[in-house]
C-alpha cells in the first residue's frame, strides 16, 4: 500500500518535473493562432472589420473579441476557412461590415490630381507613388483595393475599377448545373 503510494507519488513528481522543464524549454513565442488567422485573412488592410488592419483583426478573433464574419474581402471562402481553423460554425457575412464584391484596384485620374499626398499617407501598403505637388499614381500590382485612399482625396480624383481578366487569370467556369442529384434552384418565382 505504502509502496504503491510512493511509486505513484514518485511518478507524478517525475512527470511534473519533466512537464515543468518542457514548458520552459519549449516555450512557444507569440501566439500561433494569430499567425494562422492572419494567414487566412486577405491582407487588404481595408479596416472594414472595424480594426485598423488584418493583423489587429486576427488578434481580436484570437482573443474572442471579434466574430469571424466581419471580413467582406475574404468573403464566404474566408469565413469557411476561419470556421475550419477555429472549429466554429460558419455564419453568413455580417451585413454591417459590408458585402463581398469583385476585386478592384484604385486608379488616380492624373489630369485632376493636385499632388497633395493625402492618399499616399492613407494607403496601408504604400502602393501609391508621388511627391508633394507632383502627380500621384497607383502601383496596380500592389493595390489591395481597400478604398482607404478615396475618402481623403480633396478633389475626388480616385476611383475604383474592377480588376480585368486576361487569359492568364481566366478560370474555367464551374460545370453547368445539371441533374447530378440536386434539384435546380427554383428561380421562376419572383
Partner 1 sequence: MVDHPHKLWRFHGGLHLEAHKDISTGEPVHIMRVPRHVVLPLRQHIGEAAEPQVSIGERVDKGQVIARGSGYISSPVHASTSGTVVAIEDRLAPHPSGLSVPSIVIETDGRDHWADCSRTAMPDYAGVEPAVIRSRVREAGIVGLGGAAFPTAVKLNPRPGQQIDTVILNGAECEPYITCDDMLMREQPAEILEGLRIIRHALQARRCLIGIEDNKPEAYQALCKALGDEEADGIRIVQVPTIYPAGGEKQLIKVLTGQEVPSQGLPSDIGIVCQNVGTAASIYRAVVHGQPMVSRVVTVTGNGVRRPRNLEVLLGTPIRELIADCGGYSQDPQRLIMGGPMMGFALHTDEVPAVKGTNCILVADSDEVSEPRPAMPCIRCGACTEACPANLLPQQLYWHARSKDFDKAQDYSLFDCIECGCCAYVCPSNLPLVQYYRFAKTEIWKQERDRQKADLARQRYELRLERKEREEREKAERHARKKSAVKQAPDSDKKQQIEAARERARQRKAARAPESEGGEEDDPEHKAGTG
Q: Which residues contact 132 (CB under 8 A, 6 or more apart)?
A: 115, 116, 117
Q: How far is the CB of 84 from partner 1 (least distance, A)?
A: 10
Segment interacting with partner 1, rule: CB under 8 A, options 5-13, 19-27, 93-101, 124-132: 124-132
**Parallel, antiparallel, or unpaired: how do β-strands 137-138 and 158-162 relate?**
unpaired
Q: How far is the CB of 109 from partner 1 (least distance, A)?
A: 22
- The residue to which cell 480616385 is assigned: 158
Q: How far is the CB of 144 from partner 1 (least distance, A)?
A: 5
Residue 165 near partner 1 by CB under 8 A? yes
Interface with partner 1 in residues 36-75 (CB under 8 A) = 38, 41-45, 53-55
Residue 85 near partner 1 by CB under 8 A? no
CA distance 100 to 149: 19
Residue 29 near partner 1 by CB under 8 A? no
C-alpha cell at 49: 472589420
Burial class (CB in 10 A: 0-12, 13-18, 19+), 13: exposed
The smaller minimum CB distance to partner 1, of residues 26 and 172, is found at 172
Residue 178 near partner 1 by CB under 8 A? yes
CA proximity to 149, closest of 110, 114, 118? 118
CA torsion sign for 147, 127, 139, 117 is positive
Residues interacting with partner 1, by CB under 8 A?
Answer: 38, 41-45, 53-55, 124-127, 142, 144, 165-176, 178-181
Amino acid at each position: 500500500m505504502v509502496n504503491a503510494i510512493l511509486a505513484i507519488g514518485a511518478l507524478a513528481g517525475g512527470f511534473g518535473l519533466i512537464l515543468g522543464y518542457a514548458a520552459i524549454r519549449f516555450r512557444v513565442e507569440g501566439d500561433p493562432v494569430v499567425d494562422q488567422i492572419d494567414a487566412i485573412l486577405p491582407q487588404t488592410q481595408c479596416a472594414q472589420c472595424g480594426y485598423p488592419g488584418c493583423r489587429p483583426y486576427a488578434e481580436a478573433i484570437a482573443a474572442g473579441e471579434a466574430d469571424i464574419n466581419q471580413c467582406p474581402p475574404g468573403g464566404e471562402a474566408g469565413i469557411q476557412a476561419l470556421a475550419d481553423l477555429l472549429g466554429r460554425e460558419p455564419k453568413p457575412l455580417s451585413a454591417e461590415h459590408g458585402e463581398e464584391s469583385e476585386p478592384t484596384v484604385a486608379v488616380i485620374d492624373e489630369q485632376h490630381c493636385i499632388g497633395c499626398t493625402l492618399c499616399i499617407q492613407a494607403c496601408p501598403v504604400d502602393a501609391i507613388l508621388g511627391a508633394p505637388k507632383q502627380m500621384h499614381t497607383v502601383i496596380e500590382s500592389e493595390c489591395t483595393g481597400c478604398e482607404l485612399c478615396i475618402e481623403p482625396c480633396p478633389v475626388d480624383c480616385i476611383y475604383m475599377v474592377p480588376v480585368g481578366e486576361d487569359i492568364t487569370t481566366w478560370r474555367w467556369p464551374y460545370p453547368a448545373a445539371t441533374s447530378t442529384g440536386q434539384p435546380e434552384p427554383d428561380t421562376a418565382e419572383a
